[in-house]
Structure 1
Amino acid sequence: MANAASGMAVHDDCKLRFLELKAKRTHRFIVYKIEEQQKQVIVEKLGEPNQGYEDFASSLPADECRYAVYDFEYMTEGNVPKSRIFFIAWSPDTARVRSKMIYASSKDRFRRELDGIQIELQATDPSEMDLDVFKSRAN
């Protein structure tokens, strides 16, 4: 079903891979891309469970918008392992204006398709989503 605001559909694979991340922990992260010709959101890259934050950060293009989901694991002050699922709207300043507009207008509907997101981040440069940001938002 297309998104009324931007006309973007969400490929079934997007939800399927997210459910795998959420329920089975088969992925550390997922990078989503809007395929403008097909007018739909697709899965661009899946992160292996053993991959970390650096792998995730390097999988986002420096000058193109993306959506991403990251399963952030951390230890609480009482040494209890926890995890939070982050949704990241990556929209670098160097991206094309049209691309930024399409991603911005499709974000809310796409995010609603992924049931189980705990924390949302908007980032226009890597410093807005570095590890410290994840740590401070997770608690």
Structure 2
Amino acid sequence: MKPSTHLVLLLANAASGMAVHDDCKLRFLELKAKRTHRFIVFKIEEKQKQVVVEKVGEPAQSYEDFTACLPDNECRYAVYDFDFVTAENCQKSRIFFIAWSPDTARVRSKMIYASTKERFKRELDGIQVELQATDPTEMGLDVIKSRAN
């Protein structure tokens, strides 16, 4: 086994032990059921070995406010409640799960976020659309709109 492959396996095994803080589920339920939040940004706290809530957006905040909360050089998970009007003029909303993994993030961080993603997503029941983004253009408002329908 090549040293790099061995490192990948070690990191993946270490990362899969991440717990999900109860606050993550609670805030997500508030977003889904009560619509008290527009978005939630989640962060992995490596020392605590858990996913925690980093930021919660107010219902009046815009998509631009949301994207401004994502760090340029660090990975995050995020949930965004997107409101839109269909071609038939119906008001709808979709809950997006966004895995933010910028190219400039540390390799270790990208691997930990990648290996924890599915387990974390399972804790958030009600996600309708998933998006993986490595730069802002991959999660622009145009992309969100096209994926919402």
User: Fold-level match, TM-score > 0.5?
Assistant: yes
Q: Which residues of structure 1 form unaligned runs of 5+?
A: none
Q: Which amino acid aligns with 2:126?
A: G
Residue of structure 1 equivalent to 2:102: 92
Residue of structure 2 equivalent to 1:12: 22
RMSD (Å) for aligned C-alpha atoms? 1.2
1:60 aligns with 2:70: yes
The answer to whether the Cα contact below 8 Å between 2:15 and 2:112 also exists between their aligned partners in 1 is no
The answer to whether the Cα contact below 8 Å between 2:45 and 2:51 also exists between their aligned partners in 1 is yes
* 3-state SS of paired residue (1:38): coil
Q: Which residues of structure 2 form unaligned runs of 5+?
A: 1-12
* 3-state SS of paired residue (1:51): coil
> More helix by proportion, 1 or 2?
2
Q: Which amino acid aligns with 1:65?
A: C
Residues of 2 paired with 1:29 and 1:63: CA distance? Answer: 20
1:22 aligns with 2:22: no
1:32 aligns with 2:32: no
How many residues get paired?
137
Residue of structure 1 equivalent to 2:137: 127
1:105 aligns with 2:115: yes
| TM-score relative to the length of structure 1 | 0.96
Residues of 1 paired with 2:125 and 2:87: CA distance? Answer: 28
* 3-state SS of paired residue (2:51): strand
Relative to structure 1, the CA distance from residue 18 to residue 10 in structure 2 (aligned partners, 3 Å threshold; closer, same or farther) is same
Residue of structure 1 equivalent to 2:81: 71
| TM-score relative to the length of structure 2 | 0.90
Residues of 1 paired with 2:46 and 2:52: CA distance? Answer: 10
Per-residue Cα deviation, 1:58-90 (whole angstroms, up to 9, x for no partner): 000000000000000000011111000000000
